Amino acid sequence: MASSHSAAEYVDGVLRRDTALLAQTITLLESRNLQHRQLAQQVIEGLLPHSGGSVRVGITGVPGVGKSTFIDQFGINLTELGHRVAVLAVDPSSSRTGGSILGDKTRMERLAVDPEAFIRPSPAGVTLGGVTRATRETILVCEAAGFDIVLVETVGVGQSETMVAEMVDFFLVLMIAGAGDDLQGIKKGILEMADMIAVNKADGDNQQRAELAASDYRAALHLLTPASPTWSPPVLSCSGMKNQGLNQLWQQIVTHRDKMGSTGELAARRSAQQVRWLNAMLDDRLRDDLRSHPDLLVELDRLETAVEQGEITATSAVDRLWAKYQQLR
């Protein structure tokens, strides 16, 4: 991708809410080309004073939870209230599958054509750290473009949940009833990260099961120490398909923001996220630098074989590789 705009033109386009330039700016952020990354940082610096004003909500859910239907309806509700909504999908597995640009659009048919909404999938074919960097910076760009609510969806599983929790102000976990031993189907780590649990598909014949599941999750949360003295994660039941309970869910997010904002915990949470992001980016930069030396790649390949065959330990291999790295610097 050859950039056809200056940093000032990108900044101006985003602030003017030009959707085409917004998309081009995000594509620039996702590029691994060194010149593009340098230009992207100039753009970010220009947009930074205009960012930070959104409600950042992370959304995860077990397979089959109806996440896309939920986000589609939830987003429509928010735009009808006068909000501008950006949906960003984080999918570390896209580096293996290649991802799908159209997939994210077709999963949320109404929101995709809503003029007050913007949907962007994660970049395909990049490292876990690359997805994190691009998504974090995309949040800032969307905020500068006037989106006052940013929904960050985990499409992949596992580490993506932790990644998203580290980017947002509020982490929503969607669950369903009848998934087989409901409490065993949710990891303790997810419970500890959750700011709220919503049992989806609470409609029709499934409503009673959903209410029972919600009761079980409330009991489980009582066994954990809340991450904040200000906020005890609530458990609600809802139906994205029937648009039931979504307004109450949004009110809980607003209440959380008001409470955490008044105590200074929201600002502290974002500051701590920035510091952790700095350290994660530093780790990525060191790893990229190490892997940029052809001699080191040859040595790494040799050491991996030696470790695989049990000739040396992994610790010894790292020590040898690090010593060679220091010699080449």
Q: For residue 97, what pLDDT is reported? A: 44
- Region 127-146: what's the mean pLDDT? 84
CATH number for 213 = 3.40.50.300
One domain, residues 247 and 133: yes
Residue 113 pLDDT > 90: yes
One domain, residues 30 and 129: no
Does 271 fall in a domain? no
Residue 64 has phi, psi (to 5 degrees) of 85, 5
Which residue intervals of the chain are DSSP H helices? 7-15, 19-30, 34-47, 67-80, 94-97, 101-107, 109-112, 128-144, 159-165, 188-193, 207-222, 246-263, 265-290, 294-308, 314-328
Q: Specify the pTM.
A: 0.87
Q: Which is it for strands 196-199 and 170-175: parallel, antiparallel or unpaired? A: parallel
Residue 178: pLDDT band (50, 70, 90) is low
Does 75 fall in a domain? yes
One domain, residues 194 and 81: yes
One domain, residues 115 and 238: yes
Does 17 fall in a domain? yes
Does 283 fall in a domain? no
Q: What is the mean pLDDT of the chain?
A: 87
Residue 56 pLDDT > 90: yes
Q: What is the tens place of the pLDDT at every residue in 99-108?
A: 444 445 557 8
Q: What is the tens place of the pLDDT at every residue in 114-125?
A: 999 999 987 655
One domain, residues 227 and 243: yes
Domains in the chain: how many in total? Answer: 3
Of 128-137, 154-163, 306-315, where does the model show the most confidence? 306-315
Contact 328, 295 (CB under 8 A): yes
Q: For residue 308, what pLDDT is reported? A: 95
How far apart CA 84 and CA 74 sit, in angstroms, is: 12
One domain, residues 31 and 161: no
> Going edge to edge, which strands form the sheet with 170-175?
117-120, 85-90, 149-154, 55-61, 170-175, 196-199, 235-237
The parent domain of residue 67 ranges over: 51-263
Does 268 fall in a domain? no
One domain, residues 33 and 173: no
Q: For residue 158, what pLDDT is reported? A: 65
One domain, residues 60 and 41: no
Cα 94-100-102 angle, rounded to 5 deg: 160
Does 235 fall in a domain? yes
Does 319 fall in a domain? yes
Q: What is the tens place of the pLDDT at every residue in 226-239?
A: 888 899 999 999 99
CATH number for 5 = 1.20.5.170
63 sits in which H/E element: none
Q: What is the tens place of the pLDDT at every residue in 264-297?
A: 999 999 999 999 888 888 887 888 888 888 989 9
One domain, residues 115 and 201: yes
Q: For residue 183, what pLDDT is reported? A: 52
- 235-270: string of b/e by CB count within 10 Å (b at 16+)? bbbbbbbeeebbeebbebbeebbeebeeeebbeebe
One domain, residues 231 and 312: no
Please count the residues of the chain: 329
One domain, residues 184 and 194: yes
Q: For residue 98, what pLDDT is reported? A: 43
Does 304 fall in a domain? yes
Residue 155: pLDDT band (50, 70, 90) is confident
One domain, residues 106 and 235: yes
- Region 48-67: what's the mean pLDDT? 93
